[in-house]
Amino acid sequence: ELHRIPHPPRRLPFLGDVLGAHARTPLQDSMRVGRRLGPIFRRKAFGKEFVFVWGAELAADLADEARFAKHVGLGVANLRPVAGDGLFTAYNHEPNWQLAHDILAPGFSREAMAGYHPLMLDVARQLTARWDEREAAGRAVDVPGDMTKLTLETIARTGFGHDFGSFERSAPHPFVSAMVGTLSFAQRRNVVPPPLAPVLLWSADRRNDADMAYLNRTVDAVVAARRAASATGGHGDLLDRMLEVAHPETGERLSPENIRRQVITFLVAGHETTSGALSFALHYLSRSPDVLARARAEVDEVWGTEEEPAYEQVAKLRYVRRVLDESLRLWPTAPGFAREAREDTVLGGVHPMRRGAWALVLATMLHRDPAAWGERPEEFDPDRFTPSAVRARPAHVFKPFGTGARACIGRQFALHEATLVLGLLLRRYDLHPDPGYRLRVAERLTLMPDGLTLRLTRRSPAA
Ligand code: HEM
């Protein structure tokens, strides 16, 4: 059934196509292969065949929820040991998915978001205090490092009433190091042959056990602190929902083990990708003076002279939002997602798929398909997201948050947080890129601009 799907020409026994693959950048490696082989292709590794899809038409077909569903495979499956049947890594058939989804979805409603807004502002203030110090000292800022501090504190404070104190330390919080360790390990397990894994990954495996134990200990402490304090009244946040809310119809509750999985899931999924999205956006803004000027003019106009924006004033930053969308188009920080056939079907009317067969959608390449994005897909241009430009494009060609029932539950949260922070930073600083910097994208399942620094100057108060 795969014979119509192209693959790289030279294939080695057992190792398949992985030799010559770049172990630290498997996604960018697949992008290179995809450019050569076209909108659907396969790569073989260790006796297994993986199908990749990026053509706009095929990806739109895979978005058909009647015939396809999320597949928990590759990197996502490798996170099962740490995230278990938490929302992100749950199999579709696991009852805890629907249960947790129904219990937690109201935590992302408009009212809930409006409630998080003041906490998001608190954390953003910690960021600008740190950047003011750097600016005064004439030092550059570590963009991904500081965006990670910001987004981790934001999800921890809003979702769990917890303060990691990231801004009080110079190094990343150990929770972040442990998380990066487990994400990188999950990625490496895809590029090491299973029979050799016990040898090649022996020491990495031990470290991963230690990282997972650290994550578990951290969330257990967060939960224990809440249980101890809960007599003093509810926060109404995600953790309260997990601990106290029963399913509206069945009355069922989340088990303590599942709560542990959900807390890890939300602490990780709730910050890592948003941090990357903000970092890429700041990279492009610092390199695109016209875009930056328009974005800043919008902030000045919409927010006026008020010290801090109200909740409703964030979504009004339409152009800033387009800057974010365009950054997520070029570098969707969760760069792919897998789809499996619910029943025997034919993908795009051409490729037969058996029930359970699956393909990985390469969002980075889908977002560059000239059929949807025109002849210069590499160009950064936020005007691709004006309402009329969006209407003129086919559906299902922009998927940074996945698709269907298992799409990102935190989308509005991420967009509100990121738009708010970009607005605050644009209003406060001029951004000066390091002229020698060329964008390098680091991969640890998620994407992050590697080594990105910026110099800042405060805008004159009159502005
Ligand atoms: C799912 C991307 C922010 C929580 C997903 C998926 C994608 C994604 C692509 C689907 C994965 C798949 O199909 O396998 C992103 C990006 C973000 C972001 C690019 C930021 C720019 C957030 C935030 C939260 C969050 C802020 C929580 C506060 C989740 C959860 C799921 C998910 C729990 C699993 C949903 C389910 O299967 O029911 N995200 N996400 N994400 N995301 Fe996000």
Q: Is the pLDDT of residue 396 over 70?
A: yes
- Give the residue, by CA position, lying nearest to ligand 1 atom 39: 408
- pLDDT tens figures, 236-281: 899 999 999 999 999 999 999 999 999 999 998 989 999 999 999 9
Q: Is the CB of 68 under 6 A from ligand 1?
A: no
Instruction: Compute the distance from residue 23 Cα to the ligand 1 centre, in Å.
Output: 25
Please state the rounded mean pLDDT for residues 389-417.
97
With cut-offs at 50, 70 and 90, classify the pLDDT of residue 463. very low
Of 401, 403, 413, 419, the active-site residue reads 401
User: Looking at residue 183, what is its pLDDT?
Assistant: 83
Nearest CA to 292 out of 432, 418, 386 is that of 432
What separation, in Å, do the N-terminal and C-terminal C-alpha atoms of the chain show?
63
CB of residue 88 inside a 6 A radius of ligand 1: yes
Average pLDDT over residues 437-446: 93
> Active site includes 151?
no
Query: Is 408 part of the annotated catalytic residue set?
Result: yes
Residue ranges of alpha helices (H) inside 44-173 are 56-62, 74-78, 80-83, 95-104, 110-136, 143-160
For residue 399, the ligand 1 atom closest to its alpha carbon is 9
Q: Output 166 or 20, whichever has higher pLDDT.
A: 166
Pocket test for ligand 1, best of 151, 154, 408 (most atoms within 8 A of CB): 408
Annotated binding site for heme: 408
pLDDT for the residue 59: 98
The mean pLDDT of 167-189, rounded to a whole number, is 86
Answer positive or negative: Cα dihedral of 75, 76, 77, 78.
Answer: positive
Give yes or no for residue 373 CB within 6 A of ligand 1. no
Adjacent-strand bridge partners of 454:
141, 433
Ligand 1 pocket, 266 CB below 6 A?
yes
User: Which stretches of 161-288 are DSSP H helices?
Assistant: 174-188, 197-200, 202-229, 238-244, 256-269, 272-287
CA-based nearest residue to 380, from 451, 298, 291, 449: 291
Percentage of residues in the chain with pLDDT exceeding 90?
76
Q: Tens of pLDDT along 282-319?
A: 999 999 999 999 999 999 999 998 889 999 999 999 99
Residue whose C-alpha is closest to residue 282's, from 398, 119, 454: 454
pLDDT bin (cut points 50, 70, 90) of residue 12 is: low
87 CA distance to ligand 1 centroid (A)? Answer: 9
Which residue ranges make up the annotated binding site?
408
CB 348 within 8 A of CB 371: no
pLDDT tops 80 at residue 232? no
Mean pLDDT over 135-164 rounds to 95
Specify the pLDDT at position 392: 96
- Give 150-172 as a DSSP string: HHHHHHHHHHH-----GGG-SSP
Neighbours of 244 (CB within 10 A): 14
Among residues 151, 154, 273, 274, which one is catalytic? 273
Nearest CA among 2, 293, 199, 243 for reference residue 100: 243
Strand partners, 68: 341
Pairing of strands 358-362, 48-53: parallel
Task: Determine the distance separating the centroid of ligand 1 and the alpha carbon of 19, expressed in angstroms.
Answer: 32
- What is the pLDDT, as a whole number, of residue 13? 60
| b/e burial code for range 92-125 (CB count within 10 A of at least 16 → b) | eeeebbebbeebbeebbeeebbebbbebbbebbe
Task: Determine if ligand 1 sits within 6 Å of the CB of residue 353.
Answer: no
Helix (H, G, I), strand (E, B) or coil at 435: coil
Q: What's the pLDDT score for residue 462? A: 45
Q: How far, in Å, from the CA of 252 to the mean position of ligand 1?
A: 24
As a whole-number percent, the residues of the chain with pLDDT over 70 amount to: 95
Asked whether the predicted pLDDT for residue 10 surpasses 70, the reply is no
C-alpha 139 to ligand 1 mean position (Å): 34
Average pLDDT, the chain: 92
- Classify 335 as helix, strand or coil: coil
pTM: 0.95
Q: What is the interface pTM, i.e. ipTM, of the complex?
A: 0.99
Q: Does ligand 1 have an atom closer than 6 angstroms to the CB of 273?
A: yes
